[in-house]
Amino acid sequence: MSTDVITLPGAQTTVEMRRPLVDTLHEWVTTVDHKKLGLMYILYALVFLLIGGVEATIMRIQLSAPHKDFVSPQVFNRMFTMHGTTMIFFVAMPLVFGLANYLVPLMIGTRDMAFPRLNAFSFWLSAFGGLLLYFSLIGANGLYGAGNAPDVGWFAYAPLTSHSFSVGHSTDFWTLSLLVSGFGSIGTAINIIVTILCLRCPGMKLGKMPLFVWLNLVMAGLVILAVSPLSAAQIMLSIDRYLGGHFFDTQAGGSAVIWMHFFWIFGHPEVYVLVIPAFAVACEVIPVFSRKAIFGYPVMVAATIAIAFIGMSVWAHHMFTVGMSSNANTFFVLSTMAVAVPTGIKIFNWLATMWGGKIDFKTPMLFCAGFLFQFLLAGLTGIMMSAAPFDWQLGNSYFVVAHFHYVIVGGILFCLFAAFYYWFPKMSGRMYNEPLGKLHFWLFLIGFHLTFDFMHIPGMLGMPRRIYTYEPGRGWDTWNLIVSIGVVFQAAGILVFAANLIWSYFRGKIAGNDPWDAWTLEWTTSSPPPAYNFAAIPSVKSRRPLWDLKHPEDPDWKYE
Amino acid sequence: MSVATVTAFEPELQWEPSARGRLGMYCLIAAEAAIFTIFVVAYLFYLGKSLSGPTPQQVLHVPVLFTICLLSSSLTIHLAVRSLRKAKVGAFARWWFLTLFLGATFLAGTAMEWRHLIYDEGLTIQTNLFGTTYYSLVGLHAFHVLMGLLALSTVWLFAMFGKVRNEHAERIDTLALYWHFVDTVWVVVFLIVYVIGR
């Protein structure tokens, strides 16, 4: 709401304030504006983040000591299934899409996505997919005639999903919700690709796009190639369950292993679908708070494409323990190790960006710094498990759980938190509270390390994942207690975060257009941006158009 | 790099809806191709793994005539779009209707084949792995043909009311892309099901 931007008649926010609630709601429900849809994606993901967090907390209370019966084994199975499904499909994916939706058109200097109505359609598909999943709690008639949630695990291995082992409709709710939200994801991915390739402002060649845009382009391509196989597999599972097909029915000669292949052909690229946008955030935040241009822009792009490309061919490293042929094992060991190379290049690029920079540890930068360390460690345990013999020992143990939470929480979620703080001023028009932001960071950092550092150890001591409880005296007790204590800190951090968002939205100090002295196009427009984004479509000459504007004596385009 | 090649306004990709539509359709085709790939892989993986009959060799007959129908519809839709580009609206409507007719004939062929398999040969989706994979793969394709036919019919209705004109050629061409894709998938399905798998 700054004054140095041209406002069109009727676009003033003061008018909006006085409208009846029904009008405002109607506008949000029927909107095709990429910013409103982006915000809805983000808010929707935050709601599910709380739900998924509660599910995790329930599991950790149950596991905090041996022989606890905080919940029944049945409920425990539902909790880990719902936690995994929720966090991947209804937290991480919508967060990623929400950020892409909100920021990509602003960063490439256009007024909306390429297909605004498809955008709204995709959002509502994803939203109703999430509702469908949770409707199973009351709608899916289970064994006892009452509703229950899916309890087959987030990768739903056959034959657990067959009618004989999964009575009632809980698995069908799981299948259908993933199918529906998957179509939503594909729609959004198509939209992102077309927007980036067709709607860039004058002068913004592919090589002049902000890295955030580049990485989201790669992410969208991966979504198209990865989520489609999942949809196909879900269609097959539905055929098995509803039409009496035999795709995954071993009694009729079907194969349970082919479900694993189909699921992980989606499942592993999905990790890159989520982590590449996290990289995208780091690529924007780290340069701005190091006051240096990103180091190795073309290499960064190439490494991202290499990660996506290699990432498509590593899926069966999730299946070493299944017993594949030694040729298959060797291939997937080598391809998995190969992914580490472009990923390592990225880490060095970020470090080189920070090197010699005037680093300002504001909250977004703190989260990105945490991300760098934690993602490195997550990658190292990943390399350990990419070796098939090591994986035979530790596959399906808590070591694996610790590893992928290190990636998803320590890597992806930390970057997404950085994104929240970095773009909150743009989205809300107000600054967040810096001390509260730092408190969030430290609480969450401590909680994260308490939980997930120490989770590796019971894994190495032989504790399998997904067990409901365990015997005392195996050396797991203390570690599990520490892991559970970490949850308290994480939950406290999340509460501080939520309080910060709400307080700052109403009381934060006015941010202005460009609170970070940043360089990409979204900071040229007002905060929050008007419906039309830019009064006049900008024209750019370099990767840092705002630098050029602020430093006409030494613009970037002279050197790029 | 220091050479001054920078001009103020280089002609970038235009704000032309057709470019967007085409690119969007290409992306959709990529996603659909990935879905079909999984079904094709499942079909090939389960070839000969059925525990009971009937087998493809016993019951499948090569649908030569209907395949010719579907593949030639790619030609007719191409001619339709070409007519529209030349603003020959009448020729467009005729070619378009022929495309619709050929597609519908193909779908009727699939229906007759399925009727034969279900009632005469006793092969359903529940019978064995062959039944499951065959009906799924061919059915997924038939579903895409059906969706294409619905879209084609919509355009044809508009054409009947004289609402399809020369300026719509790019949009119609985008739809034609989808139709070509459906035909291409049939080439793959035909090879897998009726040539390799039989």
* Tens digits of residue pLDDT in A129-160: 999 999 998 877 655 556 788 999 999 999 99
Q: Is A8 exposed, middle or buried (0-12, 13-18, 19+ CB in 10 A)?
A: exposed
Name the band, by pLDDT with cuts 50, 70 and 90, for residue B99: very high
Cα–Cα distance for residue pair A135/A180, rounded to 1 Å:
14
Backbone angles phi, psi at B83, to 5 degrees: -60, -40
Cβ pair A262:B8 closer than 8 A = no
| Residues written for chain B | 198
Residue B198: per-residue pLDDT: 86
Q: Is the confidence at residue A414, as pLDDT, over 70?
A: yes
Cα–Cα distance for residue pair A371/A377, rounded to 1 Å:
10
Cβ pair A539:B9 closer than 8 A = yes
- Closest chain A residue by Cα to residue B16: A198
With beta carbons under 8 A apart, name residues in chain A contacting B15: 198-199
Residue B12: per-residue pLDDT: 45
CB atoms within 10 A of CB A16: 11
Query: Token pair of A545, please?
Result: 């158009």
Name the band, by pLDDT with cuts 50, 70 and 90, for residue B8: very low
Cα A547 to Cα A140, A352, A521, A528, A551, distances in angstroms: 56, 20, 10, 21, 6
- Residue A163, chain B, CB below 8 Å: the answer is no
CATH of domain B26-52+69-196: 1.20.120.80
Cβ pair B38:A232 closer than 8 A = yes
Question: What mean pLDDT, rounded, does chain A reach?
Answer: 93
Cβ pair B30:A239 closer than 8 A = no
Interface contacts A/B by beta carbons within 8 Å? 120
Residue A143: per-residue pLDDT: 52
- B27 → closest Cβ in A193, A232, A243: A193
* Pairwise pLDDT comparison (A243 vs A138), residue with the higher score: A243
Longest dimension (CA), chain A: 75
Residue A1: per-residue pLDDT: 41
Cβ pair A224:B31 closer than 8 A = yes
Cα–Cα distance for residue pair B144/B183, rounded to 1 Å:
10
Q: Which of A364-373, B48-57, B92-101 has the lowest average pLDDT? A: B48-57
Share of chain A above pLDDT 90, in %: 90
How far B42 CA sits from the closest chain A CA (Å)?
8
Q: Is the confidence at residue A72, as pLDDT, over 50?
A: yes
Which residues contact residue A145 at a Cβ distance below 8 angstroms, ignoring those fewer than 6 apart?
Answer: none
Cβ pair B133:A557 closer than 8 A = no
How far A111 CA sits from the closest chain B CA (Å)?
12
Q: Using an 8 Å Cβ cutoff, are A418 and A368 in contact?
A: yes
Q: Give domain limits for chain B.
A: 26-52+69-196
One-character DSSP codes across A371-387 = HHHHHHHHHHHHHHHHS
State the average pLDDT over residues B35-61. 94
How far B18 CA sits from the closest chain A CA (Å)?
10
Cα–Cα distance for residue pair A296/A439, rounded to 1 Å:
33
Of the candidates A129, A43, A137, A146, the residue with the CA atom closest to the CA atom of residue A81: A137
What ipTM was reported for this prediction? 0.92
* Tens digits of residue pLDDT in A487-526: 999 999 999 999 999 999 999 999 999 999 999 999 999 9
- Residue A189, chain B, CB below 8 Å: the answer is yes
State the average pLDDT over residues A436-440. 97
State the average pLDDT over residues A480-486. 96
Computed from CA positions of residues A457, A459, A463, A467, in that sequence, does the dihedral angle turn out positive or negative?
positive
Of the candidates A348, A354, A355, the residue with the CA atom closest to the CA atom of residue A379: A348
State the average pLDDT over residues A111-140. 93
How far A357 CA sits from the closest chain B CA (Å)?
25
Q: What is the DSSP letter of B138?
A: H
Cβ pair B6:A557 closer than 8 A = yes
Cα A30 to Cα A22, A33, A37, A104, A518, distances in angstroms: 12, 9, 10, 21, 33
* Tens digits of residue pLDDT in A24-56: 999 999 999 999 999 999 999 999 999 999 999
Query: Token pair of A411, please?
Result: 């890597």
Query: Token pair of A156, please?
Result: 């739903």
Cα–Cα distance for residue pair A375/A413, rounded to 1 Å:
11
Name the band, by pLDDT with cuts 50, 70 and 90, for residue A358: very high
Residue A164: per-residue pLDDT: 87
**Per residue, what are the HEC states of B118-133?**
HHHCCCCCCCCHHHHH
Residue A202: per-residue pLDDT: 93
Residue A281: per-residue pLDDT: 97
Q: Using an 8 Å Cβ cutoff, are B190 and B134 in contact?
A: no
- Residue B6, chain A, CB below 8 Å: the answer is yes
Cβ pair A224:B9 closer than 8 A = no
Q: Using an 8 Å Cβ cutoff, are A422 and A102 in contact?
A: no
The residue written with tokens 């999964």 in the block is A166
Residue B1: per-residue pLDDT: 37
How far A95 CA sits from the closest chain B CA (Å)?
22
Q: Is the confidence at residue A18, as pLDDT, over 90?
A: no
Cα A490 to Cα A84, A125, A399, A441, A481, distances in angstroms: 17, 31, 20, 10, 15
- Residue B174, chain A, CB below 8 Å: the answer is no
With beta carbons under 8 A apart, name residues in chain B contacting A236: 38-39, 42, 136
With beta carbons under 8 A apart, name residues in chain A contacting B34: 224-225, 228-229, 232
Q: Is the confidence at residue B132, as pLDDT, over 90?
A: yes
Topology of the domain covering A13-558: Cytochrome C Oxidase; Chain A (1.20.210)
Q: Is the confidence at residue A486, as pLDDT, over 50?
A: yes
Q: Using an 8 Å Cβ cutoff, are A314 and A336 in contact?
A: yes
How far A359 CA sits from the closest chain B CA (Å)?
29
Residue type, B187: V
One-character DSSP codes across A452-490 = HHHHHHHHHTTPBTT-S---TTSS-HHHHHHHHHHHHHH
Residue B17: per-residue pLDDT: 57
Chain A residues 75-114 within an 8 A CB cutoff of chain B: 114
Q: Is the confidence at residue A4, as pLDDT, over 70?
A: no
State the average pLDDT over residues A342-356. 96
Q: Is the confidence at residue A10, as pLDDT, over 50?
A: no
Of the candidates B105, B112, B120, B97, the residue with the CA atom closest to the CA atom of residue B65: B105
State the average pLDDT over residues A94-120. 96
Share of chain A above pLDDT 70, in %: 96
- Residue B187, chain A, CB below 8 Å: the answer is no
Q: Is the confidence at residue B3, as pLDDT, over 90?
A: no
Cβ pair B34:A224 closer than 8 A = yes
Of the candidates A317, A503, A350, the residue with the CA atom closest to the CA atom of residue A418: A350
Residue A560: per-residue pLDDT: 80
Q: Is the confidence at residue A9, as pLDDT, over 80?
A: no
Query: Token pair of A283, please?
Result: 């690529």
- Residue A265, chain B, CB below 8 Å: the answer is yes
Query: Token pair of A73, please?
Result: 């084994």
Give kind and range of the element (H or E) at residue A333: helix A326-354
Cα–Cα distance for residue pair A284/A176, rounded to 1 Å:
36
Q: Is the confidence at residue A12, as pLDDT, over 90?
A: no
* Tens digits of residue pLDDT in A256-293: 999 999 999 999 999 999 999 999 999 999 999 999 99
